[in-house]
Chains A and B, each alone.
Chain A
Amino acid sequence: MISETYVLSVNRKNHEVADAHTSESLLWVLRERLELSGSKNACEEGECGSCTVLLDGDVVCSCLVLAASAVGREIITIEGLGKGDEISDIQQAFVEAGAVQCGFCTPGLLVTIDQMLDADPDPDELTVREAISGNLCRCTGYGRILEAVRIASGNRKNQSEKEDSK
């Protein structure tokens, strides 16, 4: 069945979705209809986390969100993390730590880590491991990803200390 046209708020902009099937997942609509291909499609069953987006500020697997049910919610994808053409501090930390190998899991991890550091700017290692437990990486063994989180959280801490001392 074809849905009536609906509007999704993605990365602080409204996008009209026309002629979509009722059964389409948010991931499908993001990639195939809105041409936001940063969120990756692998398992389509909520196991791998490569499609992770923020839905009203919480991490979810966009493959398990019915797109038409996300009307009126705030959706943030990997494309919405940086400011304009600048990459985000966590993306920069991934570059510095060499935390990207094949890169397929990276967008989902970046969204997850961004949300985690917003909630807890100085997480201990167990918190980090639990936070990223739904994002599978088959390449890196996670060592450099954990290192990237340490770099990003350290930078955020220095930044806030600087601002406090001003």
Chain B
Amino acid sequence: MGVIVAKSVNEACALLAENPDTTVLAGGTDLMVQVNKGASSLENVVDLTRISELKGWTINDSEIVLGSGISYSDLSKPELASILPALAQASRTVGSPQIRNAGTLGGNLATASPAGDTIPVLVAMNAILKLRSSKGQREISVDEFVTGVKSNALHAGEIIESVRLPLLEGPQEFLKVGIRNAMVISVVSLALLVDDKGKSLRVGVGSVSPVPFRATEAEEFIAGEFDWENYSQLPEKVKSRFSKLVADSTKPIDDHRGTAEYRKHSVAVLAKRALERVCIRTES
């Protein structure tokens, strides 16, 4: 069948059911690197990038549902950035304008890299993915979806259709350490989201373990210390304890981008910095 540009989710799923060896193509920013290297050769391809139903989003009082084909550029634009600030910040740190125009939310999830920039945010928000195949659809949480380093829970013939996120009230931060500002794969990343209604803080970390995860112990500690009335800056002792709990929950490795020790140190620095930024009022 060669390369087919699908026009609908149903068409894409039908093609995948007929030809199980078909490669799914979204933005191409991961796949084509492997193809150009000769590590992967393409025969049958279904391109999802022109399926309009995957590019839209819907919103109600409590949730937003993002199509998996939404690009990092679109996530960074004011319309979505005002609703999902941490996801917008994370998207803006991906690659370059060229990469952000092509790469998609669904692609970031499917690649499931430990350094995938949107994943710490999605984990912190308990994102629910809708997966679709010719047999039907199912929902799965993001932490069940990302099963290991670059592995995911997609069955043969399934694609990611959408990502459902709760609407949180409160400040959000995404921070990332890399060797420079542009074109950087995270050495460490951290998302901190305040849920004012639920009176909780959510912490997602990336590049410090095989899969991005929530630092739940640190979350529980800080929820009790946070100044929910005034959002004032917290005492140094509290900030240090919080950042230590975040760092202690990580299991980083040494690699060419940084040592485990450096990653532990950096994630603590990011945790403290993010906490200071969501505490809006400075001590007088």
Q: A interface vs B, CB < 8 Å?
A: 1, 3-4, 22-23, 25, 44-47, 49, 52, 55, 58-61, 63-66, 68-69, 71-72, 112, 130-131, 133-135
Contacts and interface: CB of A to CB of B under 8 A. Distances in A.
Nearest to A1: B43
B97 A131 contact: yes
Given A58-B101, A60-B101, A69-B47, A25 B36 contact: yes
B28 A3 contact: no
A3 B98 contact: no
Nearest to B101: A58
A153 B35 CA distance: 38
Contact of B2 (A4, A65, A133): A4
For this complex, into which size category does the number of interface residues on chain B fall?
Answer: 20 to 34
B73 A49 contact: no
B181 A133 contact: yes
A9 B182 CA distance: 31
A46 B99 contact: yes
Contact of A133 (B40, B42, B73, B182): B182
B97 A68 contact: no
A22 B42 contact: yes
A52 B35 contact: no
A63 B102 CA distance: 12
B240 interface: no
Contacts of B96: 46, 49, 133-135
Contacts of A22: 2-3, 41-43, 45
Interface in B22-71: 25, 27-29, 31-33, 35-37, 40-43, 45, 47, 49-50
B229 to A, nearest CB: 36
Contacts of B50: 72
28 contacts: A1-B42, A22-B43, A23-B41, A25-B35, A44-B33, A46-B98, A49-B98, A59-B97, A60-B98, A60-B101, A61-B102, A63-B32, A64-B27, A65-B102, A66-B3, A66-B25, A66-B28, A66-B35, A66-B42, A68-B45, A69-B5, A72-B50, A112-B97, A133-B181, A133-B183, A134-B95, A134-B98, A134-B183
Contact of A61 (B31, B42, B43, B98): B98
B101 A69 contact: no
Given A1-B2, A68-B2, A68-B3, 12 more contacts: A22-B3, A22-B45, A25-B36, A46-B32, A46-B33, A55-B101, A60-B98, A63-B32, A64-B99, A64-B102, A65-B32, A134-B182
B183 A47 contact: yes
A4 B4 CA distance: 11
Contacts of A4: 2
Contacts of A130: 97, 182
B32 A66 contact: yes
Most A CB contacts (10 A, CB to CB) among B25, B28, B42, B97 go to B97
Nearest to A116: B97
A46 B49 contact: no
